[in-house]
Amino acid sequence: MEFDLLLKNANLPDGQTGVDIGCANGMIVAVERGINAEAAEVIDAGGYLVSPPFVDPHFHMDATLSLGTPRMNVSGTLLEGIALWGELKPVQSVDEIVTRALRYCDLAVSMGIGSIRSHVDICDDELKGVEALLDVRSQVASYLDLQLVGFPQDGVFRDPTAQTNLLRALDMGVEIVGGIPHFERTMQDGARSVTYLCELAAERGLRVDMHCDESDDPMSRHVETLAYETSRLGLEGRVTGSHLTSMHSMDNYYVSKLIPLMAEAELHAIPNPLINIMLQGRHDTYPKRRGQTRVPELREAGINIGFGSDCVMDPWYSLGRGDMLDVANMGLHVAQLSSRKDMAWCFDAVTENSAKIMGLEGYGVRKGCKANMVLLQAVDPIEAIRLRATRLAVIRAGKVISRTQASYAALNLDGRPGTVDPAQYAPKNAG
Ligand code: FE2
């Protein structure tokens, strides 16, 4: 059999070592040891990890790379970030959003991200962000999956035109219903918004992904309503609670009732570790709360958890570089997931768990999956997280679409950098 691409001597996230991966017509057609066959292109993985691409299940592509426009966030709080975004929205153009988003997509792909779920703010009567990101979605489709969530940043009830705008955005092709119940005027309005938005999604056969309880207020309990409406409307497995930071501060007795309800509704959960640790607990003196949702307990209950990046260089967060291993690393530390098994799970949280949240088909390094992969300069998922490993090659539909030169200062303790031919990964024109 002849392959378009053959990867030799790869380790896989599930612990298999030294396997060969054959790709043809954009699909993985063989994963086994010792494949002897012709291939148009052969890559020696050198015993390094070949993973399916990283998946970022929570991002804001309409705001990314806007840092400092029109000014910086001085207090560093979530609320000043929202106010600053409100200043930028009326003055930015569709073209500016498209340009920034495409730049970010290039960065993300070079960092091995293959799929992004981005929220897009619909609280703008011109729907500039929606127009821009729909354009971007089609421009990047051959190399990046982009899902869009209609996100009423200023509250679907609190903002006077948000309901109309959300319907317009969904009609234009935005595929997921978003929300922000904790930002509505009252707890009652927040709960009503969850009901309204879930009913809207059920009517249209869409998934739901809400910013839910992104607050340090232990009484912010909208996830309870989200679980209830998910079960009532038969949306199990199609609804995600993003952030869920108030759960960090909730009463333990209440949480012991809440988590089983979330599990029953098959909710997915998306903590955003970089942003949560940066923004939560800002009103505390000492001790300061971490604010990340209860990852070990949710996981223990069987709830699917993916880590999101949320922000890169925008009104809420000045840092970031599209590195899902950085996200996994922070989530690992904040949740104190330090056992070997737990650390490996953090890699799943930025790959297969998030793929499940997005409903991606053909995801994985298995026969019959799409030939989308990343070759990492690390022998296993834990080392990948420890090193924020270099993405030596990013593969999409059986073709290499990005290469990065191997890092020889990477502190791989087994001396493996020397096993990879640096010339193979050197960027063109490198000296
Ligand atoms: Fe967000």
Residue ranges of domains in the chain, CATH in brackets: 3-52+364-430 (2.30.40.10), 54-358 (3.20.20.140)
pLDDT band at 420 (very low <50, low <70, confident <90, very high): very low
> pLDDT > 90: what percent of the chain?
92
Cβ neighbour number for residue 147 with a 10 Å cutoff: 21
Mean pLDDT to the nearest integer, 134-157: 98
Tokens of 164: 């109309």
CA of 153 to the centre of ligand 1 (A): 9
Please tell me the predicted confidence (pLDDT) of residue 414. Answer: 57
Distance CA 25, CA 369 (A): 11
Alpha helices in 141-221 (DSSP H): 162-172, 187-204
Which DSSP letter does residue 26 get? T
Q: How many Å is the Cα radius of gyration of the chain? A: 22
Mean pLDDT to the nearest integer, 311-332: 97
One-letter amino acid at 315 equals P
CA of 77 to the centre of ligand 1 (A): 14
Please tell me the predicted confidence (pLDDT) of residue 431. Answer: 37
| CA distances to 131, 150, 171, 197 from 128, in Å | 5, 12, 15, 22
| Mode of pairing for the β-strands spanning 391-396 and 373-376 | antiparallel
pLDDT band at 78 (very low <50, low <70, confident <90, very high): confident
Which residues are placed with Cβ below 5 angstroms of ligand 1, an ion?
Answer: 310
**Residue 1 pLDDT greater than 50, yes or no:** yes
Cβ neighbour number for residue 32 with a 10 Å cutoff: 11
| Mode of pairing for the β-strands spanning 3-10 and 19-24 | antiparallel
pLDDT tens digits, residue range 387-398?
A: 999 999 999 999
pLDDT tens digits, residue range 12-58?
A: 999 999 999 999 999 999 999 999 999 999 999 999 999 999 999 99
User: Known catalytic residue: 214?
Assistant: yes
Lowest mean pLDDT among 22-36, 208-222, 223-237, 404-418: 404-418
CA of 394 to the centre of ligand 1 (A): 26
CA of 60 to the centre of ligand 1 (A): 6
pLDDT tens digits, residue range 249-271?
A: 999 999 999 999 999 999 999 99
CB 202 within 8 A of CB 166: no
**Residue 430 pLDDT greater than 50, yes or no:** no
Please tell me the predicted confidence (pLDDT) of residue 408. Answer: 66
Which DSSP letter does residue 142 get? T
Average pLDDT, the chain: 94
Mean pLDDT to the nearest integer, 144-149: 98
CA of 211 to the centre of ligand 1 (A): 6
Name the nearest CA neighbour of 350 among 53, 52, 54: 54
**Residue 354 pLDDT greater than 90, yes or no:** yes
CA of 186 to the centre of ligand 1 (A): 20
Distance CA 81, CA 279 (A): 10
pLDDT band at 103 (very low <50, low <70, confident <90, very high): very high
For 40, residues 6+ apart whose C-beta sits below 8 A from its C-beta are 2, 3, 4, 5
**Residue 409 pLDDT greater than 60, yes or no:** no
Please tell me the predicted confidence (pLDDT) of residue 407. Answer: 78
Instruction: Provide long-range contacts, Cβ within 8 A and 24+ apart, for 298-304.
Output: 298/259, 298/262, 298/269, 299/345, 301/259, 301/260, 301/262, 301/263, 302/263, 303/259, 303/262, 303/263, 303/267, 303/268, 303/269, 304/266, 304/268, 304/269, 304/353, 304/356, 304/357
The secondary structure of the chain in percent helix, strand, coil, rounded to multiples of 5, reads 35, 20, 45
Please tell me the predicted confidence (pLDDT) of residue 174. Answer: 98
Instruction: Provide long-range contacts, Cβ within 8 A and 24+ apart, for 183-188.
Output: 183/82, 183/153, 183/154, 183/155, 183/158, 183/211, 184/155, 184/156, 184/157, 184/158, 185/155, 185/157, 185/158, 187/219, 187/220
Please tell me the predicted confidence (pLDDT) of residue 67. Answer: 94
pLDDT band at 426 (very low <50, low <70, confident <90, very high): very low
Measured over the CA atoms of residue 306, residue 307, residue 312 and residue 314, the dihedral's sign is positive
Angle subtended at Cα 230 by Cα 270 and Cα 281, rounded to the nearest 5 degrees: 35
CA of 310 to the centre of ligand 1 (A): 5
From 131, 175, 184, 214, the catalytic residue: 214
Distance CA 9, CA 21 (A): 8
User: What region, left, alpha or beta, does residue 77 occupy, with left being phi > 0 and alpha being psi -120 to 50 degrees?
Assistant: beta
| Inter-helix orientation angle 324-334/340-348, to 10° | 140
Mean pLDDT to the nearest integer, 330-337: 98
**Residue 297 pLDDT greater than 60, yes or no:** yes
> pLDDT > 70: what percent of the chain?
94
pLDDT band at 422 (very low <50, low <70, confident <90, very high): very low
CA of 387 to the centre of ligand 1 (A): 26
Cβ neighbour number for residue 100 with a 10 Å cutoff: 22
Tokens of 163: 């309901």
Distance CA 24, CA 4 (A): 5
pLDDT band at 416 (very low <50, low <70, confident <90, very high): low
**Residue 425 pLDDT greater than 50, yes or no:** no
pLDDT band at 415 (very low <50, low <70, confident <90, very high): low
| CA distances to 159, 180, 316 from 123, in Å | 7, 12, 17
Mean pLDDT to the nearest integer, 133-138: 98
CA of 58 to the centre of ligand 1 (A): 6
pLDDT band at 320 (very low <50, low <70, confident <90, very high): very high
